[in-house]
Amino acid sequence: MNIGIFGTFDLLNYGDLLFPIIAEAELRERLGEVKVIPYSYRKKTTSDWPYDVKRLGELDSDWPALDGVVIGGGHLIRFDSEIAPGYYPENPEELAHPEAYWLAPALAAVQKNVPVCWNAPSASLGLPGWGRELIGEALKKSEYCSVRDTASALELDGLGANLQLVPDSAFGVDRVFKPRQPSEKPYLIIQANPSLRELIDGFKQSDLSKQYDIYFLPVCVCLDDGLSTVSDLWPEAIGLELMPDLESMAAWIGGAAGVVAASLHLSITALTYGVPVLRRACTADGKYAFLQESPRVFWTREPQDQPYQSFLEALGTRCKCGLALSAASKLKKHWDQIASIFLKGAKEKHPESNFGAINRRILLIKKTEAKPD
């Protein structure tokens, strides 16, 4: 069985790269021999990437071999073009950006009569009316529709789909990468992101480095992460450049005494392995809001405040919180449903579906109706 999965799997972003690996593991557990084939703008190979990624331009010729389609997860349901610096299709006159990696495949698949399942993506707020119509067209004909947060569900309300609210599938990372301890000495992981500079400076003023090794970890390399953005603050800290080695990333995160995070999926991975997380309080809304349900996430406004001190007290403790346990239970049902749909198989495929034509349709609609960014 071959399942196409669509998203930004050609970007150096830890969370996005996890989705195909988790999807394949969950579907194989239920269906046996399953191959999940990632599609994105750019071709990637296992010579320097966790898995092969096929170009979206190959999709029309691949339809005969595909038994199902998975959309997402991650923040996919959006129409703004600024996904990551320099991230655009190589042929923008043929592929609508960013719709080509999520909406166009869904529309093409439902026209083709290939089963479509949405893997709990999230949606931007304030979607344009022309975009809502196209999304509704895809959702109403999809076999299974899920989003990962209440805000996304409310944004997509009224489009005629039976939307399920499902946790981000990255909460299943520990089912793919079993916990292990990569270092003998206790250590703290700090995401190498410039938004955390004030917290890093506060940590440096403490005596934390006497008890723990300090590691800077780039997570969202395609965005702002990089050792050079924080290394000047704490030259003694050790840089960990592991991307795109996802298994090593998960091992180092899961083995930490604590994690200081800006990334959603860094936070989710830590919680999944029972590791306490420190975040800036100004990031407690939007797609991060559900993290407030976990007592293992500490929200600091400034170094030395009470949440900061509580995080320090929690360092080295390991406890899987109720949020992570509940997510695991809900995700089991999520993958059970998706597997049962693919097990039924596709109906007779319609020959007229054309991914290229759908992209041209979207491009024309955007040109005539969409306001510029």
Q: What is the pLDDT of residues 293-318, one digit of tens each?
A: 999 999 999 888 899 999 999 999 99
306 shares its domain with 189: yes
Q: Which amino acid is at 160?
A: G
Rounded to a whole number of angstroms, the CA Rg of the chain reads 21
Nearest to 273, CA basis, from 176, 155, 145: 176
202 shares its domain with 291: yes
Say what percent of the chain tops pLDDT 70: 97
15 shares its domain with 29: yes
307 shares its domain with 347: no
199 shares its domain with 272: yes
Q: What is the pLDDT of residues 56-86, one digit of tens each?
A: 999 999 999 999 999 999 999 999 999 999 9
Q: What CATH number has the domain bearing residue 317? A: 3.40.50.2000
350 shares its domain with 339: yes
135 shares its domain with 283: no
Q: What is the pLDDT of residue 207?
A: 81
Q: Read off the pLDDT band of 331 (50, 70, 90).
A: very high
Phi-psi sector, 325: left (phi>0), alpha (psi -120 to 50), beta: alpha
Asked if 35 contacts 27 with a C-beta cutoff of 8 angstroms, the reply is no
Whether the per-residue pLDDT at 353 is higher than 80: the answer is: no
pTM (2 d.p.):
0.94
178 shares its domain with 150: no
314 shares its domain with 233: yes
DSSP class of residue 48? T
| Domain enclosing residue 214, as ranges | 174-324
Q: How many domains does the chain have?
A: 2
Q: What is the pLDDT of residue 208?
A: 87
Q: Of 324, 339, 357, at which residue does a domain stop?
A: 324
User: What would the mean pLDDT of 95-112 be, rounded to a whole number?
Assistant: 96
142 shares its domain with 192: no
246 shares its domain with 140: no
Q: What CATH number has the domain bearing residue 73? A: 3.40.50.360
18 shares its domain with 156: yes
3-state secondary structure of 54: strand
Q: Of 324, 345, 361, at which residue does a domain stop?
A: 324
Q: What residues contact residue 285 under an 8 Å CB cut-off, 6+ apart?
A: none
Q: What is the pLDDT of residues 162-187, one digit of tens each?
A: 999 999 999 999 999 988 888 889 99
